[in-house]
């Protein structure tokens, strides 16, 4: 099964993709994670991407499309994958469609996670990643036990550098202007499923699996 996740920053795409990966064996392909990895490794591509990421703008399409084209042909993707944070604009969506036609790998669904703006802000500003496990946590919403499980093992709760109030405003604008048109694009393609992304993680996961028929 091949799925695209749509939704504003903080709508829970990464959290739900990680769970689908753990429970259904689908591979999470997050262009944000791939780019952060390139930045941390100091590659030429990472250096090009960093400026755009720090300001909350989109990285150029050629960089992101190259990464995706390389990633989806790897063997672990044979059982299916979740595109998390890609495509982000119409050019990317059209390039993805062409790529998947070439590969004979049609998309099964595009799932939109709907979340109100005030909750988005809390989710983004409270978001942390455990330095040991990569698990996504939130200082407002995760249980104290889950947060302690990371720090008691010597891990750190790391905040993404672009999860600050200044950058978030621009990321949300970019989402509205460039990514939201994809809702119509996937609706017209007959692929869109919209789910309520609010509430407990388990509730959202149940809606998600029902929406994609898992
Ligand atoms: P994310 O982790 O998905 O919130 O992405 C973090 C940042 O990486 C974004 O604000 C963009 O600067 C960049 N990025 C991630 N995915 C894409 C994409 N598909 N196209 C362009 N830029 C992207």
CATH number at residue 80: 3.40.50.300
- Domain-located, residue 169: no
- Structurally, the chain folds into a number of domains equal to 1
165 C-alpha to ligand 1 centroid (Å): 17
Span 104-119, average pLDDT: 95
Span 36-65, pLDDT tens digits: 999 999 999 999 999 999 999 999 999 999
Sheet of strand 127-130, all strands in order from the earlier edge strand to the far edge: 136-138, 127-130, 157-158
- Is residue 166 pLDDT above 90, yes or no? no
d(CA 103, CA 53) in angstroms, rounded, equals: 30
Q: Given ligand 1 and candidates 6, 17, 28, 32, which is best to mutate, with the most ligand atoms within 8 Å of its CB?
A: 32
Q: Are 29 and 84 in contact (CB under 8 A)?
A: yes
What pLDDT was estimated at residue 118? 86
Q: In Å, how far from its chain's centre is CA 135?
A: 14
**What's the number of CA atoms in the CB half-sphere (13 Å) around residue 201?**
17
Q: Given ligand 1 and candidates 53, 55, 95, 110, which is best to mutate, with the most ligand atoms within 8 Å of its CB?
A: 53
- Domain-located, residue 36: yes
**For ligand 1, atom 2, which residue shows the shortest CA distance?**
32
- Look at the block and give the residue holding tokens 């090009």: 48
- Domain-located, residue 147: no
- Domain-located, residue 143: no
Furthest-apart CA pair in the chain: how many Å?
A: 49
Q: Which residue has the higher pLDDT, 164 or 70?
A: 70
d(CA 199, CA 76) in angstroms, rounded, equals: 31
Q: Which domain holds residue 12?
A: 2-116+179-212
What is the full DSSP assignment across 47-113? HHHHHHHHHTPPPPHHHHHHHHHHHTTSGGGTT-EEEES---SHHHHHHHHHHHHHHT----EEEEE
For ligand 1, is residue 39 a contact (CB within 6 Å)? no
- Domain-located, residue 26: yes
Span 179-186, average pLDDT: 98
153 C-alpha to ligand 1 centroid (Å): 30
**What share of the chain in percent tops pLDDT 90?**
97
- Domain-located, residue 47: yes
Structure tokens at 158: 């790391």
Active-site annotation holds for 122: no
Mean pLDDT of the chain: 96
- Domain-located, residue 159: no
d(CA 142, CA 132) in angstroms, rounded, equals: 17
> In terms of DSSP bridges, do strands 81-84 and 27-30 run parallel, antiparallel, or are they unpaired?
parallel
- Domain-located, residue 15: yes
Active-site annotation holds for 127: yes
The model's pTM: 0.92
């Amino acid at each position: 099964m091949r799925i695209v996740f749509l939704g504003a920053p903080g709508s829970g795409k990464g959290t739900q993709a990680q769970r689908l990966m753990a429970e259904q064996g689908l591979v999470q392909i997050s262009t944000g994670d791939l780019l952060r990895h390139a930045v941390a490794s100091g590659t030429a591509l990472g250096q090009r991407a960093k400026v755009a990421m720090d300001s909350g703008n989109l990285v150029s399409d050629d960089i992101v499309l190259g990464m995706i084209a390389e990633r989806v042909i790897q063997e672990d993707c044979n059982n299916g994958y979740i595109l998390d944070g890609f495509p982000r604009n119409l050019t990317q969506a059209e390039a993805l469609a062409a790529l998947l036609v070439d590969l004979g790998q049609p998309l099964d669904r595009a799932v939109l996670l709907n979340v109100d703006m005030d909750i988005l802000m809390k989710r983004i500003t409270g978001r942390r990643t455990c330095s040991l496990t990569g698990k996504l946590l939130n200082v407002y919403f995760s249980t104290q036990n889950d947060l302690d499980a990371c720090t008691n093992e010597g891990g750190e709760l790391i905040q993404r550098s672009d999860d600050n109030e200044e950058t978030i405003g621009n990321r949300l604008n970019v989402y509205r202007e460039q990514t939201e048109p994809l809702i119509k694009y996937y609706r017209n393609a007959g692929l869109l499923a919209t789910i309520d992304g609010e509430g407990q993680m388990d509730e959202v996961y149940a809606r998600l699996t029902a929406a994609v028929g898992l």
